[in-house]
Amino acid sequence: MLDNKQINTLQQCKLFANFSETDIMQFLDSISYKRIAFSKNEIYALAGMPYRHVDIVLEGTMVCRMSSVGGKQIEVSRLRAGHLIAPAFIFSANNLMPVSVETVEPCLILRIDKMDFVRAIDENSRLCMNFIRTLSDINVFLTHKINVLSLMTVREKVGYLLIKRAKEQNSRVIQLYRSRQQIADSFGIQKYSLQRVLADFEKEGAIEIDGRSIKILDSNKLK
Nearest 5 degrees, angle CA 115-CA 116-CA 119?
Answer: 90
147 and 158 fall within a common domain? no
Collapsed DSSP state (helix, strand, coil) of residue 97: coil
Instruction: Examine the fold and report which residue of 133, 151, 169 is the final residue of a domain before the chain moves on.
Output: 151
Residue 131 Cα distances to 25, 108, 138, 216, angstroms: 18, 21, 11, 39
Neighbouring CB atoms inside 10 A of 45's CB total 20
Instruction: Examine the fold and report which residue of 151, 172, 187 is the final residue of a domain before the chain moves on.
Output: 151
159 and 147 fall within a common domain? no
175 and 131 fall within a common domain? no
Amino acid letter, residue 25: M
131 and 90 fall within a common domain? yes
Please state the pTM of the whole predicted model.
Answer: 0.82
Contact between residue 216 and residue 222 where contact means Cβ atoms under 8 Å apart: yes
Domain hosting residue 117, numbered range: 4-151
pLDDT digits (tens, 9 = 90+) for 24-63: 999 999 999 999 999 999 999 999 999 989 999 999 999 9
Over 80: is that where the pLDDT of 67 sits? yes
Predicted confidence at residue 68, as pLDDT, reads 74
pLDDT digits (tens, 9 = 90+) for 162-181: 999 999 999 999 999 889 99
183 and 81 fall within a common domain? no
158 and 103 fall within a common domain? no
Query: Mean pLDDT throughout 69-87?
Result: 89
Over 90: is that where the pLDDT of 133 sits? yes
204 and 163 fall within a common domain? yes
34 and 140 fall within a common domain? yes
Domain count for the chain: 2
Predicted confidence at residue 142, as pLDDT, reads 87
Helix (H) or strand (E) holding 175, with range, is strand 173-175
88 and 68 fall within a common domain? yes
**DSSP classification of residue 153:** -
134 and 81 fall within a common domain? yes
- For residue 71, name the pLDDT band (cuts at 50, 70, 90): confident
CA dist 193 and 202 (Å) reads 14
Instruction: Examine the fold and report which residue of 94, 122, 151 is the final residue of a domain before the chain moves on.
Output: 151
| Low-confidence winner among 32-41, 177-186, 194-203 (lowest mean pLDDT) | 177-186
Over 80: is that where the pLDDT of 70 sits? no
Predicted confidence at residue 213, as pLDDT, reads 94
